């Protein structure tokens, strides 16, 4: 069985997330999704809108997902999750700011050189990311407020 691992925050779940997970699932037989720990989200991005357990439950409910787990806190090395997931493939989203060569080098150094890294394509919709959706909501809210004045 070919095991695929996908990672992400998945805050404000949207079509871009579903597209990413559908593509990740197509790379193998079993898809495990690692949901970013709340503390990791706070440290690297923003205060999460939804908590890690709710994000995990929402992602696990998506058809392509076989299993969803919460990742380690930011104080634990990111690759410490690999013995639990045992992936053959790590699927990266089109917009995830990870340097594939750096990940490969780190995997090699840790003895996980057999894991392949695949970057998946983005959704060709203009609302394929959480920040884009928030910006559109704020834009429409601002336009509506201006019209009411």
- Name the stretches of the chain with pLDDT < 70: 124-133, 143-149
Share of the chain above pLDDT 70, in %: 89
Per domain, the residue ranges of the chain are 3-124
For 86, left (φ over 0), alpha (ψ -120 to 50), or beta?
A: left
Task: Supply the pTM of this predicted model.
Answer: 0.84
Domain 3-124 belongs to what topology? Rossmann fold (3.40.50)
CB 3 within 8 A of CB 112: no
Per-residue pLDDT tens over the stretch 83-121 = 999 999 999 988 777 788 889 999 999 999 999 999 998
CA-closest candidate to residue 112, choices 134, 136, 83, 138: 83
Cα–Cα distance, 128 to 50 (Å, whole number): 18
CB 52 within 8 A of CB 60: no
């Amino acid at each position: 069985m070919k095991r695929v691992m996908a990672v992400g925050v998945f805050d404000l779940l949207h079509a871009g997330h579903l597209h990413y997970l559908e593509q990740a699932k197509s790379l193998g037989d079993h898809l495990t999704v690692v949901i970013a720990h709340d503390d990791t989200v706070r440290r690297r991005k923003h205060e999460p809108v939804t908590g890690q357990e709710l994000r995990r439950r929402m992602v696990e409910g998506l058809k392509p997902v076989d299993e969803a787990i919460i990742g380690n806190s930011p104080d634990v090395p990111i690759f410490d999750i690999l013995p639990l997931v045992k992936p053959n493939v790590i699927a990266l989203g089109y917009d995830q700011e990870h340097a594939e060569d750096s990940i490969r080098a780190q995997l090699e150094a840790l003895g996980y050189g057999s894991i392949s890294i695949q970057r998946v394509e983005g959704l060709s919709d203009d609302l394929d990311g959480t920040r884009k959706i928030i910006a559109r909501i704020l834009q429409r809210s601002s336009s509506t407020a201006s019209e009411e004045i």
